[in-house]
Each structure stands twice: as C-alpha cells, then as structure tokens.
Amino acid sequence: MTSEQKGVRPLFHEKGSDPISRKPLLEAMAQRPTARRPVWIMRQAGRYLPEYRQFRKDHSFKDLAGNAELATEVTLMPIRRFPLDAAIVFADIMSPLPAIGVDFDFDPGPVVANPIRTQADLDRLHEPDADVAPEVITALSLVHAELPSSTALLGFCGAPWTLAAYLVEGRGVKDFPTLRAFAAGEPELLDKLLGMLSDLMADYLIAQHAAGADAVQIFDSWAGVLSLGDWQRLIEPHLKRLLERVGEAGVPRILFLQNAPHLVDAYAALPAEVLATDWRLDLGELQRRYPDRAVQGNIDPAVLLAGPDATRAATASLLAHVDALGHVVNLGHGILPTTPIASVEALIETVQEENR
C-alpha cells in the first residue's frame, strides 16, 4: 500500500527545525511540558495493519526482521497511516542473539534449537561478533532518514531475564518452569548467562542510539514469574548494570514491566527515565508515588477490540486519571492482531483532542 492510498498519510520533513526540541516523546520522557501528550503503540508495525498482512503474503516474519530494507518499510507503515509520535524499529528481541552463537526460529514465537541448560551449553556461546544485528542497525539509519522531524525513533531490546527465558526454556511456555528450575539448580550458570546478555544488550542499545534511535525501550516481559526476593538476588544486579551503561552513554530509557505488580516498586528504583506498565496497574497512582519518573501506558489492548466508542471512553478515562506532564500514552501490552483500525484512530484522536 502506497502513501497515496486512502487512509495512509505521506511522510514529510520539516526543514530548518530543531529535530530534538520538536519531538514530544522526548520532551515527555524528560518530564518537560508538551502541547499535548505523545502517543505510540507497542507492536504498532504489525498484524492489525492490512498493508502489513499484504506484505506478509510474500515475506515470512523472519525475512522481514532479518532484512534492513524490508524492516524499514514495515517500521514506516504505521507512521504513514497514523500521526504517531514515535516509530519503533521492526525487529525481534532475539535479533541480537546470533552474534553470540544462538540459533533460533519462529513457531510462531521464538524457538531455540539448543537450549542453554548446562555448562557445556553455555560454553557453546562465544564473544559477540563485531557487528551485532547489523540488519537492525541499518534499518534504524534508513528509518531515521525518512521520519518527520517531530517523530521520535525508538530502538529496543529484551531484558536479560526475558531473553534467558527463551534461551533456557527453548520457547515461550506458561510460567517457564524449566527456567525457574534452572535458576534454583544452577544459579552460577544463570548468573554467567545473564551477565553475558546484559553486556550484549547494553552494547546493542548503544549501537542503536548511534544509528539514529532517539531513545530505547527495554522489555522485561517475564520477570513476574519470580518472587521479589529471587528477583533481587538473581536479576536486579544485571538489569541495573544494563540500564546504567545505557544511561552513561546518554541514551534515554523506557523500562517496560509486564504482569508483575509485586515488582513495580523495585523497578521504579532502577535507573530509567520512563516506567512503562501493563494495564493491571493503576498508572495514575504509580505516577503520584514516583513524581520524578515519567510513565508510559497503559490501556488494555483488549479494549480496542470492543470498537472505537469503548476505546475513546478508556482513553478519556486514562487522560483524566494520569497527569499530562511526563505521560506517554500507549497500550499496556502489544496491540492485538484483530484490532479494528477505527479503534486505533479513536485512541489517537482522543489524545490529540485533549487540549483543543
């Protein structure tokens, strides 16, 4: 689908403007006033878009994520269609792992051919290649050249524990029992694995920033399977080191926490400009408890399945409940494949009409 087709708006460039100060997302992340709240949507370049579904008829997900030019086209699809305040590069959290010798496929989620469960398995991994996920780095450069000057570009990665979940379990399963058993039985091996992943992700995010990403999001989707005590013992040192290294490089950070209300206070203490949560948490209350932290989220993605009226009501309720300063509007998880386009339009319009 081209930019001239109905429902898709052309990209544009505003010459002679300051590209940083004009980006509402970056201003909100820094808790500076904006004319309106910025809005973007997790998994916004994906299966709910008819143009993406058409694209997938000729290309597998692995093809799209592994080819810079194809990934660039997919990244730009929602930006052409909607007036979103950020583009997020089309890739997978597993994209950097081949650089240390991990072989994986998709069915439909990540499947690791040889899970890491012993010292010998860990020894198969190697020092990172000189270029980590070069297709992602190139895609960021290509997207950056195409974006409107007011639209931020986001890179991302999986948090060390979330990546370890797939590497140890072999694929996504409920509550990751093999991973939890590995953590209990082989804590030293887990520590080594998490240390390797933390260093790799820090290098990867810093490289994304150098390629044009204005900010990055770290997805920690599976931390909630641990107790607070186990999280503090096993995970916190590695995640903190990752965030510190990225921050020291001058990269703004969004930290996303999924389905872990018992960990939210611990995550709020980590070094990141923005704390993003799923819909299970009261974002307004979280904002009031941590006024020095910007927040992102957190509309239930299922609400959009109910249609534009329900979406408008949920969005208006969120805006009324969360202070505008330092709030980035988003869903509480990735947008669902059967989401109507009209619901996405209703969400964005409600945000953009707030101050009119």
Q: pLDDT tens digits for 75-118?
A: 999 999 999 999 999 999 999 999 999 999 888 889 998 999 99
Local confidence band at 355 (pLDDT 50, 70, 90 cut-offs): confident
The answer for residues whose C-beta is within 8 angstroms of residue 4's C-beta and 6 or more apart is 10
Q: How far apart are CA 343 and CA 308, in angstroms?
A: 4
pLDDT score of 13 more than 70? no
Q: How far apart are CA 177 and CA 165, in angstroms?
A: 10
**Is the alpha carbon torsion for 174, 274, 300, 340 positive or negative?**
negative
Q: How far apart are CA 159 and CA 194, in angstroms?
A: 9
> What is the pLDDT, as a whole number, of residue 7?
43
Report the 10 Å Cβ neighbour count for 148. 20
pLDDT score of 10 more than 70? no
113 near 101, Cβ under 8 Å? no
Tokens of 187: 């804590």
Strand, coil or helix: what is 129?
A: coil
> What is the pLDDT, as a whole number, of residue 108?
83
Q: What are the CA-CA distances from residue 259 to residues 88, 194, 221, 279, 281 (Å)? A: 22, 21, 7, 9, 9
What global pTM score does this model have?
0.92
Mean local confidence (pLDDT), 269-285: 97
Nearest to 277 by CA among 289, 266, 269, 286: 286
pLDDT score of 137 more than 70? yes
pLDDT score of 318 more than 70? yes
Q: How far apart are CA 86 and CA 261, in angstroms?
A: 27
Crossing angle of helices 160-169 and 236-248, rounded to 10° = 130
Q: How far apart are CA 121 and CA 99, in angstroms?
A: 16
pLDDT score of 18 more than 90? no
What are the DSSP calls for 52-65, one per residue? Answer: HHHHHTTS-HHHHH
pLDDT score of 356 more than 50? yes
Buried b (16+ CB within 10 A) or exposed e, 165-176: bbbbbbbeeeeb
Nearest to 208 by CA among 257, 248, 246: 246
Tokens of 29: 């992340």
157 near 205, Cβ under 8 Å? yes
Q: DSSP E strands: which ranges in 129-235?
A: 152-158, 215-220
Tokens of 322: 């969360």
Task: Write down the mean pLDDT value for the chain.
Answer: 92
93 near 158, Cβ under 8 Å? yes
Q: Could you report the per-residue pLDDT of 197-255, keeping only the tens digit for each? A: 999 999 999 999 999 999 999 999 999 999 999 999 999 999 999 999 999 999 999 99
Q: Are strands 294-299 and 327-331 parallel, antiparallel or unpaired?
A: parallel
198 near 160, Cβ under 8 Å? yes
Strand partners, 171: 111
